[in-house]
Amino acid sequence: MQGRTSGAVLVALVIAVAAGAVGGVAGGVTVLLLDDDASTAPPDATATPVDTATEEPATPAPATALDAAIHRTLEAVVTVVADTPASRDASGRMSQQRSLGSGVVIDRAGYVITNFHVVSGASELSVVLSTGEERPARLIAHDAPYTDFAVLAIPNQGLRSLRLGDSDALRLGQPVVAVAGAGFTSGNSVKVGVVSGLDQSWVRNAVVLESLVQTDAAVNIGDSGGALINAEGELVGLLTTVVRETPTGLAVEGVSFSQSSNSLRPIIENIIALGVHPRPRLGIEYPFAHHIEVTPEMAAAEGLTHEAGALVTAVDPGSSAAAAGIQPGDHIVAVNEMPVDLATPFVNRLKALEPGQVAELTVLREGRQLVIPVTPRLE
C-alpha cells in the first residue's frame, strides 16, 4: 500500500450528522468506491492576454513565526482513510464504504493520533501524508468509550512530528490554528481562530467529553483528528467535535471542541509504552452496544420506575459484570451511591473509579433494588 495512489471514482458523498445535531467533525465523510478506469479532463479555456509590461512584481510579505509554525504543522498532519469490508448493494454491485478523517504524527517513530470515531469499524486503515504519499496504518489502541481517542502506527521513514504543548497555559482570546487533513478538499486545510472556552464539557454519544478547548475556528466535516496549535506550533488540542445546534434545537455557529493536549498526554504515553491506557472494564461500559442512557421520555414509554440511569442491553460473556450476575434488562441507577443520569452518565461514573476500586452498582430488577459489587478489570 505504501506509495499507492487511488484512481477510484467518488460517486457518492454522504455527510453524516450525529444524533443531537452534534457529531465528530469527521468520520462522516463517506465515499463509495466503484470503477478505477474513469477519468476526467479540465474544460477548455481560452486565456485572455494581459499586458503586464509596466507592472511591478508584487513583493511577498515577510514570513512570520506563525507562518513557519503552520508550515511545520502541515507536514505533520495526515489524512486518515478508513475502509470497511466490501459488500454487495441492492443492485448486486460490489461497493466499499470509505471514511476520511485527520490525524497528527506525534512521534517520528511512526505514531499517529486521531479520534476513535474516525477509525471505528474499519477493516483497513491507511494515512495520506501531506506529500500525497499513502502508507498503511494499524490501530495500536484506543481509549473509547472514555475518550474519543486512538493511536495508529505507520512506517516511519522521513516523518515530521508535532510537539505536545501545555494546554493549561492557554488563555481566552489567544489565537490558535486548526490544521486538518484533506477531508472533502484536495489538500490539508488551515483555519485561524481564538480560544473561546477552556475546560469545557459536551455530551456526545451518551458520554460527557471533558477537558475540552472551545474555539471559533471554522472546523468542518473531515477535520476530526486534526491539530489545534498555538502560535509556537505546539499541539494544544485534537479537533474532535463541531456543534451545529443546542440541545434545544437553536442553530449555533463558530463552536468547535478539541480534546486538550494535557488530557491526552498520559493516554499517549501509556499507549506508546504499554500498548494500552488502563481503564475500568466491566463488560457493559459501551453506550448503545451494552447499555442505553435512560431519559424521562424513555422511562415513560418503557414503564420504568426511575427516570434516569443506564439500562443494560448486553453483557460480554466472561466479563466481570457477567461474573457478578449483571443481566440484560438491569436498570443501573447509581455507582458507589453516586447517581447515574444525563449530567453524569454511566461511563463517566466508571471513569472516576480509582484503579482496583470496586464498583457497587445499584440495580433495579423486576421491582427489586439490588446492590451488586463488580470488580472492574483494568485493560
User: For 238-272, how does the pLDDT look when each residue is reduced to its tens digit (9 = 90+)?
Assistant: 999 988 877 777 887 889 999 999 999 999 999 99
**The predicted structure's pLDDT at residue 2:** 41
CATH dotted code for 1-36+65-275: 2.40.10.120
Which residue would you say has higher pLDDT here, 186 or 194? 194
CB 78 within 8 A of CB 105: yes
Give the Cα separation of 254 and 234 in Å (integer).
Answer: 22
Contact in structure between 299 and 286 (CB atoms under 8 Å): no
Lowest mean pLDDT among 32-46, 118-132, 167-181: 32-46
pLDDT of residue 259: 98
**pLDDT above 70 (res 85):** yes
Active-site annotation holder among 99, 102, 130, 224: 224
Residue 4 pLDDT > 50, yes or no? no
pLDDT of 57 reads 54
Question: Is the confidence at residue 47, as pLDDT, over 60?
Answer: no
pLDDT at 361: 98
pLDDT at 12 over 80: no
pLDDT at 14: 33
- Domain 280-378 class in CATH: mainly beta
β-partners of residue 141 are 151
Whether residue 148 lies in the annotated active site: yes
Q: Do 152 and 128 meet the contact criterion of CB atoms below 8 Å apart?
A: no
Predicted confidence (pLDDT) per residue in 110-162, tens digit: 999 999 999 999 999 999 999 999 999 999 999 999 999 999 999 999 999 99
Question: What is the spatial distance between Cα 27 and Cα 377, in angstroms, rounded to a whole number?
Answer: 30
Nearest to residue 332, comparing CAs of 316, 318, 345, 317?
345
Secondary structure element (H or E) that encloses residue 263, with its range: helix 261-274
pLDDT on residue 124? 96
* Catalytic position from the list 99, 117, 320, 330: 117
Write down the pLDDT at residue 81: 95
Average pLDDT over residues 171-195: 89
How do the domains of the chain map onto residue ranges? Answer: 1-36+65-275, 280-378
Tally Cβ neighbours within 10 Å of residue 25: 31
Q: What is the pTM of this model?
A: 0.81
| Nearest-5° Cα angle at 113, 110 to 119 | 110
178 exposure class (CB count in 10 Å sphere: 0-12, 13-18, 19+) = buried
pLDDT value of residue 313 = 97
Length reported for the chain: 379
Kindly report which listed range (8-22, 65-79, 171-185, 349-363) carries the lowest average pLDDT score.
Answer: 8-22
Instruction: For residue 62, name the pLDDT band (cuts at 50, 70, 90).
Output: low
CA torsion 371-375-378-379 (nearest 10°) is -80
210-224 mean pLDDT: 92
Tell me which of 55-64, 205-214, 317-326, 347-356 is least confident.
Answer: 55-64
Catalytic residue, chosen from 143, 148, 223, 330, is 148
Q: Kindly state the DSSP code that residue 73 receives in the 8-state scheme.
A: H
Check if 117 is active-site.
yes
State residue 244's pLDDT score. Answer: 81
CA distance 78 to 125: 12
- Whether 1-36+65-275 and 280-378 share one fold: the answer is no
Mean pLDDT of the chain: 85
